[in-house]
Structure 1
Amino acid sequence: MPFPRGRKPTAIAGSKIPKLNAAASENQEEGTQAKRSSSPPRGAPKKRTAFIDITNAHKVQISLPGKRKEPGKKTVKKTSSTSVSANNQANLKKSSSVSSEGTTSEREKTDTEEEKEQDTLVDVAAPVEEQAAATPPAAREVPAHLQRQEIPKEFDIDSENSEDPYMCPEYAKDIFDYLKKREEKFVLCNYMPKQPSLNSEMRAILIDWLVEVQENFELYHETLYLAVKIADHYLSKTPVHREMLQLVGSTAMLIASKFEERSPPCVDDFLYICDDAYKREELISMEASILQTLSFDINIPIPYRFLRRYAKCVSASMDTLTLARYYCEMSLMEVDLVPWRGSLVASACLLMALVTKDLGGWSPILRFHSGYQASDLVPVVRRIHSMLSAPPDDKLRAIRNKYSHKVFFEVASLPLVHIDILEKALAS
């Protein structure tokens, strides 16, 4: 179904949120600072630090020169050293009046009692220390489910980024293991039988149009993949008429842009690319419907992230990664690949790119980080290869034209590797 398309908005007015200039932001900050008053309002609590003042600095009185004494306050005079010594001498005289015999006997008793108490404490403490040294501290042991998996040195691909906090080298393996487990929650089936007015060709046309939208708005590739995932999950749960399919796709792209982009396009931009076929209220209503249907859980694992991770394992060059990205993006249009997990699709696309470039097969480091054996990739590789070997449709040229550009190393024009070579790589 050909969607109504408008002109390619190479420069759409209002697509970017206008930023305040430096002068306006400074004036705004000065205005907010001018409104603040230095004195607290009446009845407000006094300012204090978050922790208790352990230095007792609040008890120290500092006398500044020229400071007047407030009336009604009495100054406390410091006691001199002579008065302290006089008191000590008086106490010594009082103690001397006591008989020397009584004092010595009492001191001897107290000394013997203290020695006995120390001896008993030593006797009790000795077996306790021995017992503590013999038994390991069980409370300090880390539970099994919290212990980190030790990565073999030959499979360590994150230590080289130890100085880059944005790469999260300490948690990179754990993050992708979590994303791989999270895929179990978003497994889909072929939902086309549930859609009475849709078919696989209409879905392919929609995704081909979304690729053009991603190029025109210069969005991230993650945004495109997430938009397709959101649309698939919504269509798997809600019957949609064919006239509303483009509205579902554009709204899914809007939600994905808000999730992935730094400055996402606004609602008017998406209404423009739909050639004003829908109203603003319809798009906002569809956005609420999609979010409620998905229970606002839109952080869906996408194959693009796994593809970049697995390509790093073998230190793939940019042209090899781009070839794998071309295969992976073409797989978005195939409805038969919707039930497969994104990590499995990414692994199959990377294997095809490695074999095409004659860079080897599914190596042990890829098996370690992906968790897949070469035998697990067989059905997905065969399906992607049959899709790419089919004659191209003239109506669905967006992805092929995109990856025929020099920016993407013209990987779409490379010959497809023979299926026998792939089968041999999978068998090894």
Structure 2
Amino acid sequence: MPVARSSKAQSSKQPRASKAPSVTENVPQEKEEGCQAKRSPSSPQGGPKKRSAFGDITNAHKNQTVTGKKEGVKAPTHKTARAPPAPIVAKNNEINLKKSLRKTPPTDVPVEPEKDSVSEEPVQVPVVEDIDKEQLGDPYANAEYAKEIFDYMREREEKFQLPDYMEKQPDISRDMRAILVDWMVEVQENFELNHETLYLAVKLVDHYLVEVVSMRDKLQLIGSTAVLIASKFEERCPPCVDDFLYICDDAYKREELIAMETSILRTLNFDINIPIPYRFLRRFAKCARASMETLTLARFLCEMTLQEYDYARERPSKLAASSLLLALTMKNLGGWTPTLEYYSGYCAQDLHPLVKRLNFLLTYQPCDKLKAVRTKYSHRVFFEVAKTTPMDMMKLEEKLKS
């Protein structure tokens, strides 16, 4: 939360220590938010900067050490008891068998090579890892329903496919949208909001502009109101209306912001639980057991697409999978495994065209003036992934084919 207006000039922040977090491979994804939070040591001193429209306000993360609890091992106790009657034993065995079949997915069991009846050669069946079995005992992880939840999100992608709405917007262009999204990235850093809030806010802007023809002087009002709605949906303590009026340099009145919030919600029928790439990316990185540095590189690639109108119509799950595949390729960490193919629903060949486009976007940024995302991920807390050298297109082509 930004400081209140009356205390902005008096507040100050102590700079954090400039110690870069250590990186280890195979970092459990349960610790990722602890290792890389949303706070920024380089955020503006004394509160948010107000800007009338379309400073470098980088966002970084606090490092928190999460230690797991050791489970105590109890010595087996031997008790003598009378054997229950045979009908009760049979009934209990049947119940236990159903429970074990329900908890243990068949894909977790390695399959022995089968022999082809014609060639007499063994056929290797790929083994898919159950990535949720380690969290079955955690009531906060919802591991029992994780796959069903993401399958449901994949189904909702069909409902939120974006058409080419720029054709019916006479006063708004792609460049104006890019400038707006660049400003929204600064707002997300300024208020220290979650990344999910930024992704959802951009989605709300796009879906609203599909239905409503707007003028350019109302574009920043739409963007700031979308961040307000997304904050109420994603944040534990969302900023208030006065904070958004301040960050817009008082370009709009309170009544206008509230009226725009009502208009957006009614236009979208209050259905704002839109699938975003950020959540899919976390899931897929868990499948790949990627380190925090590799995941951050994939997040940078994915966030670069927010400003580009051409990527707005891509499926969030496919965009997340392609960002992770490019990050894995850039780090020489292997390709698309059977586990990734099973949980993402995409094979490697489905992702190759989008991976090449992402690498081209990383190599040739369309507008040098819009640097909010690159500046953000150039910070040491984000492992300075924005400074990573892009791959040569020919070399990338060879690696994808191999």
How far the C-alpha of 1:148 sits from its partner, in A, is 11
Tell me if 1:204 matches 2:204: no
Specify the code of the residue in structure 1 equivalent to 2:232: K
Tell me if 1:152 matches 2:126: no
Contact 1:9–1:273 at 8 Å: present in 2 too? no
Which one is further off, 273-282 or 411-420? 411-420
How far the C-alpha of 1:10 sits from its partner, in A, is 5.3
Tell me if 1:314 matches 2:288: yes
After superposition, residues 14-413 of structure 1 pair within 5 angstroms as: 150-153=106-109, 154-391=128-365, 393-413=367-387
Contact 1:212–1:398 at 8 Å: present in 2 too? yes
- Match of 1:166, SS state, is coil
Separation in 1, partners of 2:361, 2:249: 31
> Are residues 166 and 347 of structure 1, via their aligned partners in 2, closer, same or farther at CA, if it must alter by over 3 Å?
same
Residues 61-92 of structure 1 show CA distances to partners (whole Å, capped at 9, x for unaligned) of xxxxxxxxxxxxxxxxxxxxxxxxxxxxxxxx
TM-score, with length taken from structure 2: 0.69
Separation in 1, partners of 2:365, 2:303: 17
- Match of 1:155, SS state, is coil
Residues 122-179 of structure 1 show CA distances to partners (whole Å, capped at 9, x for unaligned) of xxxxxxxxxxxxxxxxxxx9xxxx9997543442011111221111111111111111
Contact 2:185–2:372 at 8 Å: present in 1 too? yes
Specify the code of the residue in structure 1 equivalent to 2:108: P
Residues 288-343 of structure 1 show CA distances to partners (whole Å, capped at 9, x for unaligned) of 00001101000000000000000000110000000000000001111011111000
Specify the code of the residue in structure 1 equivalent to 2:296: T
Structure 1 runs (4+) greater than 4 angstroms displaced: 6-13, 146-150
- Match of 2:143, SS state, is coil
How far the C-alpha of 1:417 sits from its partner, in A, is 1.4
Specify the code of the residue in structure 2 equivalent to 1:152: D
Separation in 2, partners of 1:10, 1:190: 41
- Match of 1:308, SS state, is helix
How far the C-alpha of 1:252 sits from its partner, in A, is 0.3
Specify the code of the residue in structure 1 equivalent to 2:243: D
Separation in 2, partners of 1:149, 1:200: 46
Separation in 2, partners of 1:225, 1:149: 33
- Segments of 5+ residues of structure 1 without an aligned counterpart are 1-5, 14-140
Separation in 2, partners of 1:384, 1:270: 33
- Match of 1:399, SS state, is helix
- Match of 1:170, SS state, is helix
- Segments of 5+ residues of structure 2 without an aligned counterpart are 1-7, 10-42, 49-97, 110-127
Specify the code of the residue in structure 1 equivalent to 2:305: S
After superposition, residues 408-427 of structure 1 pair within 5 angstroms as: 408-427=382-401
Separation in 2, partners of 1:225, 1:209: 13
How far the C-alpha of 1:420 sits from its partner, in A, is 2.5
Contact 1:324–1:350 at 8 Å: present in 2 too? yes
Separation in 1, partners of 2:45, 2:278: 25
Aligned to 2:81: none
> Are residues 392 and 335 of structure 1, via their aligned partners in 2, closer, same or farther at CA, if it must alter by over 3 Å?
closer
TM-score, with length taken from structure 1: 0.65
Which is helix-richer, 1 or 2?
1
How far the C-alpha of 1:192 sits from its partner, in A, is 1.0
> Are residues 248 and 149 of structure 1, via their aligned partners in 2, closer, same or farther at CA, if it must alter by over 3 Å?
farther
Separation in 1, partners of 2:184, 2:348: 32
- Match of 2:144, SS state, is coil
How many percent identity over aligned positions? 61
Specify the code of the residue in structure 1 equivalent to 2:129: F
How far the C-alpha of 1:378 sits from its partner, in A, is 2.3
- Match of 2:378, SS state, is coil
Residues 102-131 of structure 1 show CA distances to partners (whole Å, capped at 9, x for unaligned) of xxxxxxxxxxxxxxxxxxxxxxxxxxxxxx
Specify the code of the residue in structure 2 equivalent to 1:284: I
- Match of 1:165, SS state, is coil
Contact 2:105–2:130 at 8 Å: present in 1 too? no
Separation in 1, partners of 2:213, 2:104: 45
- Match of 1:157, SS state, is coil
How far the C-alpha of 1:210 sits from its partner, in A, is 0.5
